[in-house]
């Protein structure tokens, strides 16, 4: 496993982490086959492979994810860099403090390594939220402060609201089908040494090669995503073919190539999800080797040409939702 410094915190986290939003989540037909013993075995396997960044949130499974993660790491706490998030409805000063206390109890730990604001809330002054975060750091209940889904302007505002601490990370969606952060957020993060934690690094499974125009996912979560329209899956197939050629040449899986492309940037770590140990083993194999300059250029050219169709996609999604119901 490869490790990078989280922001300027001094803490080192694995370039490939483990996202756990699916643990305990049965929303919209997702994780119907959820099994707690599989989830714990997956977390244990991740730790064995050197993955120390485990990310969860109070809202995942209404606290279930934190509870399962807490049980899984009970006797391995020193091997884990634990990240969780406070939900958008709990960003007032008092609510942040209470939410953190609840997360600490569910996780069965004395301190949260990285506490993140899950989404910005325009109705709560960010200064109020950050004052609470700094209090948690001073009390030793939180070690690092992060944000999630923050635009560049919101990130700057959040940092300015802190008086004694620094924001070490911003968790955002980033993958070969969604490179919006490269316009301004990624360059800024690079300059300021703020780590980008990339969620959905495999575009909800599209970049694993599992889905195609003739193989549309059945769960409502993906049916609601315009990327999964037949037309957009067809457009993404060009990227998948490029990844497949490189993967075959390297003796890798296409998902490993997609993740390796992300982690070529020291500012970026990826947190793909995994339901079972075999999945986390696949993810861990995305590092320990490097794409060469020609391969990166090939991937960039193909990826940059991807333009998702939107208007027709929304119509398609609505049609498929109607059929689902």
Within 8 A by CB and 6+ apart from 187, the residues are none
Distances (CA, A) of 16 to 187, 188, 220, 272: 21, 22, 27, 8
Q: Can you tell me the distance from the alpha carbon of 204 to that of 219, in angstroms, rounded to the nearest whole number?
A: 11
Q: Catalytic residue positions?
A: 60
Residues listed for the chain: 325
Tell me how far CA of residue 103 lies from CA of 129, 141, 142, in angstroms. Answer: 16, 11, 11
Cα–Cα distance for residue pair 165/286, rounded to 1 Å = 33
Single out the residue of 272, 268, 276 nearest to residue 55, CA to CA: 272
């Amino acid at each position: 496993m490869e490790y990078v410094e989280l922001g300027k915190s001094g803490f080192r986290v694995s370039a490939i982490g483990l996202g756990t939003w699916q643990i305990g989540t049965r929303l919209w037909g997702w994780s119907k086959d959820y099994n707690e013993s599989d989830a714990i075995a997956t977390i244990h396997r991740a730790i064995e492979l050197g993955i120390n960044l485990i990310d969860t949130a109070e809202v995942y499974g209404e606290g279930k994810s934190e509870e399962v993660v807490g049980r899984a790491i009970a006797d391995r706490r020193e091997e884990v860099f634990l990240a969780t998030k406070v939900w958008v409805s709990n960003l007032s000063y008092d609510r942040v403090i209470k939410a953190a206390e609840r997360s600490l109890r569910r996780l069965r730990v004395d301190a949260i390594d990285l506490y993140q604001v899950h989404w910005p809330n325009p109705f709560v002054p960010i200064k109020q939220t950050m004052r609470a975060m700094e209090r948690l750091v001073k009390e030793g209940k939180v070690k690092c402060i992060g944000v999630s889904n923050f635009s560049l302007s919101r990130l700057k505002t959040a940092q300015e609201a802190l008086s004694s601490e620094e924001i070490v990370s911003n968790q955002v969606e980033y993958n070969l089908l969604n490179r919006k952060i490269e316009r301004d957020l990624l360059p800024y993060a690079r300059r300021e040494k703020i780590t980008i934690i990339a969620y959905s690094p495999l575009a909800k499974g599209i970049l694993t090669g599992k889905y195609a125009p003739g193989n549309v996912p059945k769960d409502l979560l993906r049916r609601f995503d315009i990327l999964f329209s037949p037309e957009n899956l067809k457009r993404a197939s060009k990227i998948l073919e490029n990844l497949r050629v490189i993967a075959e040449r390297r003796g890798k899986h296409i998902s490993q190539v997609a993740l390796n492309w992300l982690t070529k940037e020291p500012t970026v770590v990826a947190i793909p999800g995994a339901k079972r140990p075999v999945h986390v083993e696949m993810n861990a194999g995305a590092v320990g080797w490097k794409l060469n300059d020609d391969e990166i250029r090939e991937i960039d050219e193909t990826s940059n040409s991807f333009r998702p169709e939107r208007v027709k996609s929304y119509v398609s999604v609505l049609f498929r939702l109607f059929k689902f119901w």
